[in-house]
């Protein structure tokens, strides 16, 4: 995989908000947000803080040029939380739509994380 992969978002000021739910796909959402942050594709931010209307997080989100929401499943909690707070989502990833079955097993394997990250990067580049 290419190390200098960038999002098709067209800007460096990208906020990444994961769902971090209780299932495997929720945990994948959080882990993928961490990996995207490490790759400097964007800055991982706290989705729950948006739901709580934490002033600092709200200002950081408002200052972002683009927002990526990463949900684990079709319930779309991250996307809905951001939209209810008045934010426009520029990119929305749903982990379960990448071929990952939702389970209660939260013990993520490194190979699985790498596979989901690769699929996520492909999705971000294609949009």
Task: Write down the residue that tokens 């769902």 correspond to.
Answer: 19
The pair of three-digit structure tokens given for residue 111, joined into one six-digit string: 């190979």
Q: What is the pLDDT along the chain (127 residues), one digit of tens a residue?
A: 334 444 545 556 999 999 999 999 999 999 999 999 999 999 999 999 999 999 999 999 999 999 999 999 999 999 999 999 999 999 999 999 999 999 998 889 899 999 999 999 999 988 6
Contact 68, 45 (CB under 8 A): no
Model pTM above 0.85: yes
- The second-level CATH assignment, the architecture, of 14-126 is 3-Layer(aba) Sandwich (3.40)
Find, among 83, 58, 57, 59, the residue nearest to 69 by Cα.
Answer: 83
Domain coordinates in residue numbering, the chain: 14-126
């Amino acid at each position: 995989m290419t190390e200098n992969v960038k999002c098709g978002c067209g800007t460096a000021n990208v906020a990444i908000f994961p769902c971090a739910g209780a299932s495997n796909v929720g945990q994948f959402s959080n882990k993928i947000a961490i990996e995207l942050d490490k790759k400097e594709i964007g800055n991982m931010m706290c989705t729950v803080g948006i739901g709580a209307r934490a002033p600092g997080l709200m200002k950081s989100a408002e200052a972002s040029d683009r927002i990526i929401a990463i949900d684990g499943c079709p319930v779309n909690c991250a996307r809905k939380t951001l939209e209810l707070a008045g934010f426009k989502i520029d990119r929305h990833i749903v982990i379960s739509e990448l071929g990952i079955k939702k389970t209660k097993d939260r013990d993520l394997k490194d190979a699985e994380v790498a596979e989901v990250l690769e699929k996520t990067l492909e999705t971000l580049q294609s949009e």
